[in-house]
Amino acid sequence: MAAGTMTFAPIIPWPLLALAFVAVLGFTAWTCMRRVRSQPLRTWRPAALRSAAVVLLLLAALRPGWAGGQAQTATADLDVYFVVDTSTSMAAEDYNGTGTRLSGVKQDVMAIAEELAGAKFSLITFDNKATVRMPLTQDATALQTAMTTLQPQNSRYAKGSSVTGAARLLKERLAAAKQQHPGRPALVFYAGDGENTSAEAPAPMDATHVAGGAVLGYGTGEGGPMKETADPDAGYVKDKTSNTPQDAVSRIDESQLRTIAEQLHVPYAHRTGAEPTSDMLGQANPGATTAMTHDGPGRVELYWLLALAAFLLAIHEPLRHFTALQTLRPAMRKEPTT
């Protein structure tokens, strides 16, 4: 075991651990002082052993350890931008059967975040307008919360959207991050269906500060209907171009998506729910992603020794009850005398 400084990595907040220590030690002292003078030693010893076992478990919860060895750790020198289409067409039910396209995006975004753990993440969405839903942060929980609450735009407010509606905002964010941290690469993962409903031609995407990433396409050529809102009981969007309105159908436009991929200098991947995340990450700029991990200082965990000691103390209790039960059995089996 390599020698080093002892460190702690508590599994629950320090204040709660301190409060638990005080409560256990206080209760133990009160119990022992109450019994030690008035009762035999054997009556208060079990209580003391139980309390000692709890104290050892609390010490184990501190996760003490010595610095030593090596461990593979993730570096934070990578920015990952998720640019997600939230227009009404992302509610189309043609992903992996009848799932919505946005549900596929949510799965892929969280899978990518898990693979690139340690990076900083930002979420930008666009429909009629582009919005920064989450600035760059290492908090993966915040990203998960943002993705969980993400919904397609209500069809009532849809006024036509451009597939590159987030181009300007993304460019600004990339430039600002590059100015603050010049040496940190940025990956961009664009997720959408390529359906352009704006009257204007899509503005080109700028790849100036993009080190890698991918354009992820959702939907099918056959298309699917889409609900007006995220409410499960909502009706479907209607195509009112004919005299007999029917359910509108949205179809993926892969040519638009491939154009965006060319502009960003990243690969395009059609996502249907059947492909593993590693397929798209393998093409997302291997140099940037493989540099995510490195060998750094390790840590020798000691909590298991405390947990083992607590177990040895606690096992005394069931053994004591088992012995008492074995003593009572012969007496219980005796026939009553007349």
| CATH number, domain with residue 93 | 3.40.50.410
The reported pLDDT for the residue numbered 68 is: 58
Partners of 250 in the β-ladder: 224
Task: Please write down the long-range contacts of 136-143, taking CB distance under 8 Å and 24 or more positions apart.
Answer: 136/79, 136/177, 138/76, 140/113, 140/114, 143/82, 143/109, 143/110, 143/113
Inside any domain, residue 199:
yes
- Could you list the residue range(s) of the whole structural domain that residue 328 is in? 6-70+308-333
Residues 206 and 241 in one domain: yes
Pairing of strands 120-126, 130-137: antiparallel
Inside any domain, residue 300:
no
The CA-to-CA distance between both ends of the chain, in Å, stands at: 70
Q: How many domains does the chain have?
A: 2
The reported pLDDT for the residue numbered 38 is: 58
The reported pLDDT for the residue numbered 24 is: 74
Inside any domain, residue 23:
yes
The reported pLDDT for the residue numbered 319 is: 63
Each residue's pLDDT, cut to its tens digit, for the chain (338 residues) gives 344 567 777 776 777 778 887 887 777 777 766 665 555 555 566 767 777 878 888 788 877 877 655 545 444 478 999 999 999 999 999 999 999 999 999 999 999 998 888 899 999 999 989 999 999 999 889 999 999 999 999 988 888 889 999 999 999 999 999 998 888 899 999 999 999 998 889 999 999 999 999 999 999 999 999 999 888 889 999 987 777 788 999 999 999 999 999 999 999 999 998 888 777 777 776 455 544 444 445 567 777 888 888 788 777 666 666 666 666 656 555 555 55
